[in-house]
Amino acid sequence: MKANPRGVLTGIHFLDGDHAAAEGALAAGADFSAGYPITPSTEVVERLASRFPRTGGTFIQMEDELAASIAIQGAVWGGAKAITVTSGPGFSLMMEHLGYGIMTETPFVLIDVQRGGPSTGLPTLPAQSDMMQARWGSHGDYEIIALAPSSPQECFDLAIRAFNLSERFRTPVLLMMDECVGHMLERVVIPPAEEIEIVPRRYTKIASGETYWPYSLDESPNGDLVPAMTRAGLGHFPHITGLTHDEHGYPAMNAQAQTVLVERLIAKIRNHVDEIMILDEDHVDDADIVVVSYGITARVCQPAIAKARAQGLRVGLLRLVTVWPFPEKRIRELAGKVKGFVVPEMNMGQIVREVERLVAGKAPVSSVTNAGGEVHDPDVIYRAITEVKR
């Protein structure tokens, strides 16, 4: 369906990533946010606080990130489309509720505008050091969808995509920004509402008062594994719990129920990787050296790659727009063909571990680390490219 015009600020804007992400949420039809201030994400909620009353939404600043990350889920079960925003320390606090959302299959978007860590770290400076936390930060086994924008424009576009994926798969989706993309100002084009495609929440067709089971697959096409949704007030009387549950939603404290549920939650994402995956490839198909990067660092790679190409090296850039699920298939494909991989990231080596795992020793993988605080010097990346030896 098309976006509701009341949330779409159509036009050509000069915005930073934080503001663009807020506009993306609004364009996607978000109508609820509960947040908590934390640098460098605060501007997102400040903008939502200002814009929501004029677009039919509600913003509430909660007392902490623990409250914010669960208040949005209460709102979703009241029928809202909800988002919360944070940075490192708040991301850590939100982990329990990320798991609750995954377990209860509650769609929402959670933005992490990454900053230097660990702990209080560098509140005003960028990093990309929460990428593994995005994958593994909550306890238990699960799959997660995480997108990484490289520009304010992408903050807008991927915020919409994040909502669409969350509704499609009835799961929380992460938007992994960083302080650089969040605070840089760039041209952001917001199209007319009728050009924005929105995936609506798939509500159950079961009538009010009839028997509805919140985790039944009866209304799901074969293999889809996504149950139909409901909300409070429709006469469906779901019981929603974070305990391991059966398709009735009732707690089922046994290994069989655990196996059925956890395997379905994981397969729900894994089986649809192709639908979820977005990769931005530049000269990868005939590359000798593939640079794998994401977020702001992918842009910092560009002058380094250009310089290397000018020296005659066949270098491609594989930009991960979808970081999780990780593009296993593509990396495995490339592993047998290329002379080496270079993985620059603004952390001490996180996504590179996935690359290494999938390359499985078939080619050298070079990790270009950065403790955070400022983007790489492109020359460091250039040197790593030139030093790739088969």
Contacting positions for another protein (CB under 8 A): 6, 31-32, 34, 53-58, 60, 62-64, 66-68, 70-80, 82, 96-97, 100, 208, 231-243, 250-251
Min separation Cβ 269 and another protein, Å:
22
CB nearer to another protein: pick between 60 and 266? 60
| CA distances for 355 relative to 111, 328, 358, 364, 367, angstroms | 24, 8, 5, 10, 10
Q: Six-digit token pair at 332?
A: 């495995």
CB nearer to another protein: pick between 252 and 352? 252
CA distance 216 to 220: 8
CB nearer to another protein: pick between 26 and 308? 26
Min separation Cβ 76 and another protein, Å:
8
Min separation Cβ 239 and another protein, Å:
5
∠ at Cα 326 (278, 28), nearest 5°? 45
In this structure, what are the phi and psi dihedrals at residue 22, rounded to the nearest 5 degrees? Answer: -60, -45
Min separation Cβ 248 and another protein, Å:
8
Structure letter (DSSP) for residue 125: E
* Residues 159/193, Cβ–Cβ less than 8 Å: no
Min separation Cβ 85 and another protein, Å:
15
Burial of 255 (0-12, 13-18, 19+ CB in 10 A): exposed
CB nearer to another protein: pick between 34 and 304? 34
Question: Roughly what angle, to the nearest 10 degrees, separates helices 295-310 and 378-386?
Answer: 60
DSSP track, 252-267? --SHHHHHHHHHHHHH
3-state class (DSSP) for residue 256: helix
Min separation Cβ 182 and another protein, Å:
25
CB nearer to another protein: pick between 70 and 320? 70
CB nearer to another protein: pick between 248 and 383? 248
